[in-house]
Amino acid sequence: MYDSGSTAFMMVSTMLVLFMTPGLAFFYGGLSRRKNVINTMLMSFAVIGIVGLTWVVAGWSIAYGGDGTDPVIGGFDQFGLSGVVAGMLSESAGDGAVYPSLVDITFQMAFALITCAIVTGSVAGRMRFGAVATFIAVWSLVVYAPLAHMVWGGEGSLIGGIIGALDFAGGDVVHISSGVTGLVLCLALGARKGFGLKTYRPHNVPFVALGAGLLWFGWFGFNGGSAFAADGVAALAILNTVASSAAGLASWMVVERVATGKPTLVGACTGLVAGLVVVTPAAGFVEPWAAVVMGLIVSPVCYLAIARLKTRFGYDDALDAFGCHGIGGILGGVLTGVFCLPELSWTGHGGLIYTGDATLLASQVLGIAVTLLIVLVLDAVLIAAVRAAFGGRLRVTDAEEALGLDVATHGESAYPAYTGLDA
C-alpha cells in the first residue's frame, strides 16, 4: 500500500510547481516593455506546450531511465513513457514505493518547465519566436535532462554521486543551468537597440508583484516536494524557504535604500525571488538560521550583479535571469557546503562550519564548475545549430524590434486602446 499522506503531499507539490510557470509569465511580463508583454509571456506559456511534450517523449527517459549506472545519461528504455503504467501496476510496498512512481514523472516535468521558462527572460524583446521555441525544445533534451541525471540520478551519477555535490531542489539543475544559458543566449544575440542609452522600466509593476507571489506560493512545492515524503525534512525545507525568501526581500529593500534612496516594489519582489533561489540547493540540509543568513547575503550579491556587473561588461540580460538565477544558484551551492548539517547530508560529509572539513565545500565548488562547463559547451553548440537552421539569424529585424514583438510576431496587443509611445 502506498502512504496516502505522502502521495497526497507529492501530488499537491507537483501542482504547485506546475503553477510556477504561469507565475513566471506574469513576473516577466510585468518587467518587460509594453510593446513586448505578450511575446514575453507567451515564451513562458509556450514552454508548457513544448517541454510538456519533449518530457513525455524522451526527457524523462534520458534523465531517469536506464539502470542508473551511467554517470551522464539515464537511458532510452522509457521513450514515450513506454511501460510506466505497467510498472505502476506492479509496484508494491515491498519495492519501497511510498507513492505512485507516475507522480515523479509529472513532478520532474514541472521542474523542466520552469527551468526552460527562466531562460527566456534573458532574450526578451529581440529573439525570433521560432528560434526560441526550437532552442528550448532541443535544450530540454540535450542539456536539462542529462544534467538532471548527473545531479539526481543516483550513486553512479557524475555530479551527485561521483563528485558528491549536494543539490536539494535544483541549484545546479534549475538555476545555474537556466541563468548561464540565458547569459550565453543574450551574448549571442547582442543587446537591444538603445541598451546603455535608455532606461528600460517595468511596464506593469502589479504584474511583477502578482508573478512573484505565484512563484513564492509554488516554491513551497518546489522545495518541500523535493523531500519526496511528507516528513520532517519536507517541513524543514518549507520553513527554510520562508526564512530565506523573507531575508532576501528585507535585505534587498535595505540595499536599494542605501544605493538609490528608495526601496521599490520591483526590488522587493526581486529580493524575494533571490532568497528563494539561494536556498533551493540547501533547503533540506540547513538550519533556519543559516537560511536567513543565505537570504541576507544573496540580495546584495545579486543586486551588484544586476546593477553593476551587467553595466560593466555590457551584456543585455533583459530580465536578469543570469543576475538572479545564475548568480543566486552559484552562491546557494557554495553556501550549502558551508552550512549543511552533517546529519542531513546525502553524502556523509557536513558543512565546513560544523566539521571543519572542506570536503563537502570542495565537492560543491567542483560540481558547480562541472555544471558550468557542460552548460557552456552544449549551449554554444546548440546556438550554432539553431542559428544555422534559421538562416543564420536568431534575432528579429530592426523594424520588428522597433514596432514591438507583440504586433510584429503575434499580431495582437496587450493594450489595444493605447496609442502613446512605449516607455
| Bridge partners, 195 (sequence order) | 198
Taking the C-alpha atoms of residue 219 and residue 236, their distance in angstroms, rounded to an integer, is 14
Q: Across residues 107-125, what is the average pLDDT?
A: 97
What is the mean pLDDT of the segment spanning 323-336? 98
Q: What is the reported pLDDT for 233?
A: 98
pLDDT of residue 420: 55
Q: Which three cell numbers stand for residue 129?
A: 519566436
Window from 73-82, 87-96, 137-146, 377-386 with minimum mean pLDDT? 87-96
Residue % of the chain over a pLDDT of 90: 88
Superfamily for the 4-410 domain: Ammonium transporter AmtB like domains (1.10.3430.10)
Over residues 230-239, the mean pLDDT reads 98
Measured in degrees and rounded to the nearest 5, phi and psi for residue 238 equal -70, -45
| Per-residue pLDDT band at 93 (split at 50, 70, 90) | low
Q: What does the pLDDT read at residue 78?
A: 93
- 6: phi then psi, degrees, rounded to nearest 5: -70, -35
* Cα–Cα nearest to 244, from 196, 277, 284: 277
What is the rounded distance in angstroms from the CA atom of residue 279 to the CA atom of residue 328? 9
Kindly list the domain boundaries of the chain, sorted by start residue: 4-410
Of residues 419 and 115, more confidently modeled: 115
Question: Chain-wide mean pLDDT for the chain?
Answer: 95
Q: What pLDDT score was predicted for residue 91?
A: 74
Is the pLDDT assigned to residue 94 strictly greater than 60?
no
Long-range contacts at 91-98 (CB < 8 A, ≥ 24 apart): 93/1, 93/2, 97/2, 98/2, 98/3, 98/6, 98/7, 98/228, 98/229
Sign of CA dihedral 259, 262, 264, 269: positive
**SS3 state at 395:** strand
Cα distances (angstroms) measured from residue 182 to each of 46, 112, 368: 17, 15, 17
- With a cut of 60, say whether residue 127 has pLDDT above it: yes
Which is more confidently placed, 99 or 295? 295
Measured CA to CA, the distance from residue 392 to residue 398 in angstroms comes to 16
CA distances from 79 to 110, 112, 116, 154, 263 (A): 18, 16, 20, 20, 50
Report how far residue 6's alpha carbon sits from residue 281's, in angstroms, rounded to the nearest whole number. 22
Of 65-74, 162-171, 253-262, minimum mean pLDDT range: 65-74
User: Could you tell me the pLDDT band of residue 337, with boundaries at 50, 70 and 90?
Assistant: very high
- Cell 533551493 sits on residue: 280
Cell numbers standing for residue 47 = 514552454
Which residues on neighbouring strands pair with residue 198, listed in sequence order? 195
DSSP letters of 102-159? HHHHHHHHHHHHHHHHHHGGGGTTTB-HHHHHHHHHHHIIIIIHHHHHHHHS-TT-II
Q: What's the pTM value of the predicted model, to 2 decimals?
A: 0.96
Q: Which of 187, 166, 134 has its CA nearest to residue 385?
A: 134
Q: How far apart are CA 117 and CA 108, in angstroms?
A: 14
Run of H or E residues at 179: helix 177-189
Question: Is the predicted pLDDT of residue 367 greater than 70, yes or no?
Answer: yes
Residue 328 clears pLDDT 70, i.e. is over it? yes
Measured distance CA(191)–CA(93) in Å, rounded: 55
Dist. CA 342–CA 354, nearest whole Å: 7
